[in-house]
A and B are shown apart, each in its own frame.
Chain A
Amino acid sequence: MTPLLEVEAVSVRYDGFEAVTGASLTVEEGRTMAIVGESGSGKTSLALAVARLLPPGGEVVSGSVRVDGVDVTALRGADLRRARGRLVGYLAQDSMAALNPVLPAGLQVAEVFETRDGTRRREARHRAVELLGQVGIQRAGEVAAMYPHELSGGMRQRVMIAMALALRSRLLIADEPTTALDVTVQAEILALAAALQADHGVTFLWITHDMGVVAEVADTVAVMYGGRIAEQGPAGEVFGSPAHPYTQALLETVRGGAEAPPKAPFATIAGAPPAGVIPPGCPFHPRCAHAFEPCPEVVPAMVDTGPGHRAACHLLGVGR
């Protein structure tokens, strides 16, 4: 099976600052890949690059992104507009801000049918209400006439999902869509995503810093740090035998490691993630417990550590 999303050596730059460096990953159709990292790790920039939604001033300076065989970084003008949404949909974290405050929720779904399929207004409204029902909104007809601020966070996120369904996006980027929601609503949205995947074969690229969400949704995982992918592989592999010291530390913060003192329920990673300037060599070396000579100078190469499981760490080179 050919992958639906192929990201190859992508670097993203904002006015001189490199937010993503040489990131490569693939996602199979109908699967979910989670990109994990702290804020500033470059995960959102990478996702925006895939969706062609980098803000003005940000650009993909090298590498390529192919969605369903189409090189989206090369799309321009009308081709780009037609491809938007059809290839990649985008679920933002802040659904309140992402919906137009002065337009009814239903219209914001229906306008997709109107403008993209040339559906008549009434029919478009009808189909929008139908979709709102499909994403689990009760009394969808009434909700369609309501404005974003009248809806709960969970409902708004469902409206965003309905929008993506209307677009029939091949790939759906979920940029921490559940972060702002409380736990029960979060679980409902995750269940909805799983149902959509089963029914419609939606492919997800799920951006998060929440390992719990990763465990719930992900088939494969990519861990990002300092603009680079530190480790990637099948979720079970990465969770079961993390190869990169950063991934190990990240997992420890959730589980509490064996050597964690009994009175500290939450382990933390010493130091702070890079802000502004990314250290030379391996970006994680200033905080890494295992750093040795090459780490501050040489950028570690990706090394295969198992079937589809790769990591970029000098320790792995030493082991061979």
Chain B
Amino acid sequence: MARYLIVRLGLGLVTIAGVVLLTFVLQFSLPGDPARRIAGPRASPEVLATVRANLHLDDPVASQLVTYVSDVAQGDLGVSYIRRRPVIDLVKERLPATAVLAFGGLLVEVLLGGGLGLWDGLRRRRSRVLAAGNVVLLSIPTYSLGFLLLVVFAYRLDLLPLGGGTSLEELILPALTLGLFGVPYYAAVVSESTRTALASPYMRTAVAKGLPRRVILRRHVLRNCLSPVITLAGLDVAIYLSGVVFVESVFAWPGIGQLQEQAYNELDRPLLMGTVIIAAVVVVAFNLIADVVRVLVDPRARVEEAG
């Protein structure tokens, strides 16, 4: 287990290093002079020179890379051009809102997707309605789904607020949007593993023992669905974070995604790259966590990772 963890951790660090390198290259390719962006259009040449020196902009590329990497490694992602504050602080400020949204969405997709998947898996034939619903949901990009819900529930029916805040009422639609997007995947995975469980010899043993249906479902079916669901959740993070950006934009949810969109529109280079790095760290971290949890809940995975 320890060896496995170290290998996985190492690969994760390599990946993050790759992302940092990528953002460094991107920064170089960006148009515009960062010093002028910071100092403003009317700054004197002396001020510009000072700013350039502070940012090490006149150093050779290799030395700039070293500075950049060591800064990032120490958690220094630079200072936002527009907001004049460290990127890491801005991200920290927005993190709780995004975490609440992400958790709400996860709840929706696991409960709704898992529930539908279980229902479908227990049926003798796959439900055509669910299959059709899955295709439709797959077809609706996150932001479109957000708009649809917004038009129907907030605008037409006037049941829920249009968004712009972080109250519980205002969480419902964005979390639903984010969650519904993942529902088809969870439904498919749970339905498939339910069917596999129901058809396997250990299910015959459970039935032969005369166990009540609810014990069979809870202990013998659901336990076997857990591992694929966790794997999916781990793989899903990168896509999920993309959904977060769209949803925050559509519903004006004040989280990291919105910050990201603003950074793009304001051409705020450090903020943009900083959020890319943060997001990559989150993805790698969750992949790792999902792997570890999977090993914990699925004894078979312990053999795989050892072998």
On whether A and B touch (CB less than 8 Å), the answer reads yes
Cα distance, A89 to B209, chains bound together (Å): 8
Instruction: Please name all residues of chain B whose beta carbon is closer than 8 Å to the beta carbon of A150 when the two chains form the complex.
Output: 299
Do A101 and B300 contact each other (CB < 8 Å), given the known contacts A111-B215, A111-B219, A115-B215?
A: yes
Which segment, of B98-106, B198-206, B248-256, faces chain A? Answer: B198-206
Contact of A149 among B209, B219, B220, B303 (CB under 8 A): B303
Q: Which of A81, A92, A99, A160 contacts B210 (CB 8 A)?
A: A81
| Contact indicator B204/A53 (Cβ below 8 Å) | yes
Determine the distance from Cα of A90 to Cα of B201 in the docked complex, in whole angstroms.
12
Tally of chain B residues near chain A (CB < 8 A): 24
A171 contacts partner chain B, Cβ-Cβ < 8 Å: no
CB distance from A96 to the nearest CB of B (A): 9
**A85 adjacent to chain B (CB < 8 Å):** yes
Given contacts A100-B220, A149-B300, contact A115 B211 (CB under 8 A): yes
A103 to B224, CA, bound (A): 9
Say which residue of B204, B208, B215, B223 sits within 8 Å of A102 (CB atoms): B223
Q: Which of B202, B226, B297 is close to A100, meaning CB atoms less than 8 Å apart?
A: B202
- Does residue B212 face the partner (Cβ distance < 8 Å to A)? yes
- Check if B204 sits within 8 Å of A100, measured CB to CB: no
Q: A99-B202, A100-B224, A149-B300 are in contact. Are A83 and B210 (CB under 8 A)?
A: yes
Residues on B with beta carbons closer than 8 Å to the beta carbon of A103 = 219-220, 223
**Closest A residue to B209 using CB positions:** A85
Q: Is A84 a contact partner of B202 (Cβ separation < 8 A)? A: no
Given A97-B201, A115-B215, A150-B299 in contact, is the A102-B227 Cβ separation under 8 Å? yes
Please indicate the chain B residues that have their CB under 8 angstroms from the CB of A101 in the complex: 202, 224, 299-300
Do B209 and A163 have beta carbons less than 8 Å apart? yes
Q: Given the complex of chains A and B, what is the CA–CA distance between A99 and B209 in angstroms?
A: 12
Nearest CB in chain A to that of B297: its residue = A102
Q: Are B215 and A97 in contact (CB under 8 A)?
A: no
Q: How far is the CA of A318 from the CA of B209 in the complex (A)?
A: 48
Q: For the complex, what is the distance from the CA of A86 to the CA of B208, rounded to whole Å?
A: 9
Q: Does B1 contact A (CB under 8 A)?
A: no
A84/B223 in contact, CB under 8 A = no
- B207: chain A residues at CB < 8 Å are 53, 84
Please provide the chain B residues from 97 to 152 with a CB less than 8 Å away from any CB of chain A in the complex: none
Give the complex CA separation of A168 and B227 in angstroms.
34
Interface size on A, residues (CB 8 A): 30
- Is A165 interfacial (CB 8 A cutoff)? no
Bound-state CA distance A85–B205 (Å) is 10
Contacts A102-B223, A102-B297, A102-B298; A97 near B211 (Cβ below 8 A): no
Verify if A116 is at the interface (C-beta below 8 Å from B): yes
A51 beta carbon closer than 8 Å to chain B: yes
Q: Are B209's CB and A100's CB within 8 A?
A: no
Most chain A CB inside 10 Å of its own CB: which residue of B201, B227, B300: B201
Asked whether B224 lies within 8 Å of A102 as measured between CB atoms, the reply is yes
Q: Are A98 and B204 in contact (CB under 8 A)?
A: yes
Chain B contacts for A85, CB-based, 8 A: 208-210
**Among B210, B212, B220, B226: residue with most chain A CB under 10 A:** B210
What residues on A are CB-neighbors of B303 within 8 Å?
A: 149
Check: A239 CB closer than 8 A to any chain B CB.
no
Give residues of chain B (252-307) contacting chain A, Cβ–Cβ below 8 Å: 297-300, 303
A-chain residues with CB within 8 Å of residue B200 when the two chains form the complex: 97
Q: Are A98 and B209 in contact (CB under 8 A)?
A: no
Closest chain B CB from A266 CB (angstroms): 32
Looking at the complex, which one of B205, B212, B219, B226 makes contact with A99 (CB distance below 8 Å)? Answer: B205
Give CA–CA (A84, B200) in the complex, Å: 18
Taking a contact as CB atoms closer than 8 A, the residue among A81, A83, A89 that contacts B212 in the complex is A81
In Å, the complex CA distance between A150 and B219 comes to 20
Residues of A within 8 A of B224 (CB): 100-102
Query: In the bound complex, how far is the Cα of B223 from the Cα of A102, in angstroms?
Result: 7
Chain B residues whose C-beta falls within 8 Å of the C-beta of A81 in the assembled complex: 210, 212
Contacts of A82 in B (CB 8 A): 210
A148–chain B nearest beta-carbon distance, Å: 8
Can you name the residue of chain A whose Cβ is closest to the Cβ of B221? A100
Q: Mark A267-307, 1 if CB is under 8 A from B, else 0.
A: 00000000000000000000000000000000000000000
Given A98-B201, A100-B220, A102-B299, check contact A51 B206 (CB 8 Å): no
Tell whether A167 is near chain B: CB-to-CB under 8 Å.
yes
Please, which residue of chain A has its CB at the minimum distance from the CB of B204? Answer: A53
Verify if A27 is at the interface (C-beta below 8 Å from B): no
Known contacts A103-B219, A147-B299, A149-B303; decide if A98 and B205 are in contact (CB<8 Å). yes
**Known pairs A97-B200, A103-B223 / 7 extra A-B pairs, C-beta < 8 Å:** A51-B208, A84-B209, A90-B208, A98-B202, A100-B205, A112-B211, A149-B299
Q: Which of A's residues lie within 8 Å of B, judged by CB?
A: 51, 53, 81-86, 89-90, 92, 94, 97-103, 108, 111-112, 115-116, 147, 149-150, 160, 163, 167
What are 9 pairs between A and B in contact, CB < 8 Å? A81-B210, A85-B208, A92-B205, A97-B200, A98-B202, A102-B223, A111-B209, A115-B210, A147-B300
